[in-house]
Structure 1
Amino acid sequence: MSKFVSLKKNADFKSVYSKGISAANRYLVLYKLPSKGLGKRFGFSISKKVGKAVCRNRLRRILKEICRLNLDRFANGYDYVFIVRQAAADQDYHQMEKQVWHVLGKLNK
């Protein structure tokens, strides 16, 4: 089982945005790009429009935990970037988990 690794550099995010494929719903946008490594890396982007810092950090923690607990559901060798939309501000863990699987399913078709 691979380890949870986060994207940190702005250049990595820009690369995923420009070269990757995406899928979206009302709550999330998910970008996916083949990476050079064998593992999987995750990035999270949450605009200040979504809410105050407490709300944004809560959503980031929820998404990180969903990804960490379900690493096997994400394909190896890819970088993933989640963009959270304003509608997600009042969602709880289980609702966000459902939205993640929805966009991931759209992306893997």
Structure 2
Amino acid sequence: MKRSPIRRIFRFKRNERLKRREEIRAVFNRGKAVSCPGAKLFRMENGLSHNRIAFTFARKFGNAVERNRCRRVGREAYRLMQNRLKTGYDLVLLVYPGKDFLADRMDQLKMLFSRTGLLTGTE
């Protein structure tokens, strides 16, 4: 199955993901954290020219279907906002149950990124 060129342009790239357990754990342990109702963001400088992000969930966060939907919504909200963020950070978003709509997740991310100082002045 071939993907359309437009879909390839806007996809969430592999180098934008934090995948390894050690990297995610390092952000949890050494990174700075800010929180808002329903989510907590951990950030740590990575020395790269781009940001990397991982989505994790609180214990007892529903079943696999709910977690995957929440991950998809979170990735889309991040993708829509990433051009307004400062670069060079590893980010881990810890999500709690509730607020699984795109508008809610975008509000959460906007609040968290502005509290950490990652959101640039461009709207």
- Does the 8 Å contact 2:78/2:106 carry over to 1? no
Which portions of structure 1, spanning 4 or more consecutive aligned residues, are displaced by more than 4 angstroms? none
Structure 1 position 79 matched with structure 2 position 95? no
Tell me which amino acid in the other structure corresponds to 2:105.
M
Instruction: Please give the alpha-carbon distance, in whole angstroms, between the structure 2 residues aligned to 1:105 and 1:6.
Output: 21
**Number of aligned residue pairs:** 105
Alpha-carbon deviation of 1:49? 1.1
For 1:50, the equivalent position in structure 2 comes to 61
Equivalent residues in 2 for 1:31-46, closer than 5 Å: 31-46=42-57
Q: Which has the higher Rg, Structure 1 or Structure 2? A: 2
Structure 1 position 103 matched with structure 2 position 121? no
Alpha-carbon deviation of 1:48? 4.6
For 1:70, the equivalent position in structure 2 comes to 81
Q: CA RMSD in A?
A: 1.7
Gap regions ≥5 residues in structure 1: none
Alpha-carbon deviation of 1:91? 3.0
Of all paired residues, the percent bearing the same amino acid is: 25
Instruction: Please give the alpha-carbon distance, in whole angstroms, between the structure 1 residues aligned to 2:80 and 2:36.
Output: 22
For 1:14, the equivalent position in structure 2 comes to 25
Higher relative contact order (CA 8 A, sep 6+): 1
